[in-house]
Amino acid sequence: MSRFEGKTVVITGASSGIGESCARKFVEEGARVVLAARSKEALDRLSSELGSEVTQSVPTDIANVGECKHLLQEAISRFGSIDVLVNNAGRNSRGEFENLPLEEVLQIIAVNLQAPMVLTRLALPTMRTQGSGTVVNIASLAGRFPLDDEATYSATKFALRIFSFAVAEELRDTGVRMCVVSPGPVDTGFITDPSVIDSVPPIVFAQPMSTADEIADLVLESAADGARERTKPAFSGKLATLGYLVPSMRRVLMPVMERKGVRVKKKYVERARR
């Protein structure tokens, strides 16, 4: 029997990248999947491909609390439960913090932090009533290492990680679990799309690049066993923690990593422009 046979999984940011990979893998393992993102066309296309009998597309702007409520209500109405919530949707705008439009700063906070907190808060009563359930929050190694030109993004991912750990303690012995998946750079449009790649700091490319499928595998493993946190690459996670705990080490590492990142980024830029 598959690990998620008959389970209901809600995934935000499901129209592409890690979210889409998660959707495909959960369906392969017998889950019923509720797909959430802003693009109705992309969601409907994915739902049709995976099978409308086991999926439901719910176009959602997760920065809107009312739409978050509607998303979970639709999941319960259609499938009767919420067994796994994957808070995957993310937003970023790069550049010096003081130069970012205030509206964009607030939007990053709304998508990366407010929405996962709101959706978790809305899902927990159902999961408590069921006596089981898992929330998997997609954080980032940028939440463990202060990243220049991505201050707001780093801050939201740091906060999401700490929020997850704190609520996990509150849920001890309830059967409901909170997990975090913290990836380094992932080869998706979030980083390597031609429209954004020029703005991505070279240091991002100094770490090994994961695929969306690799991170989705970590999400499913976390949903299955409730592990507190998984990171990929594992060594990059340790390096990020060291750089955060020992600022002097960060100052030593940064120039070396940036030089490597410039070389690697050049290859990805060339690929993006083919």
Residue with structure tokens 């927990």? 124
DSSP one-letter string for 154-210:
HHHHHHHHHHHHHHHHHTTTTTEEEEEEEES-BSSHHHHSTTTGGGS-GGGGGSPPB
Taking the CB of residue 151, how many other CB atoms lie within 10 A of it?
Answer: 19
* 153, 163, 205, 268: the active-site residue: 153
Polymer length of the chain:
274
Q: Is 153 annotated in the active site?
A: yes
Please give the Cα distance from 106 to 220 (Å, whole number). Answer: 30
- Beta pairing class for 55-59 and 32-37: parallel
Burial of 52 (0-12, 13-18, 19+ CB in 10 A): exposed
Burial of 68 (0-12, 13-18, 19+ CB in 10 A): buried
Which of these, 207, 172, 171, lies nearest to 191 by C-alpha position? 207
Residues with active-site annotation: 153
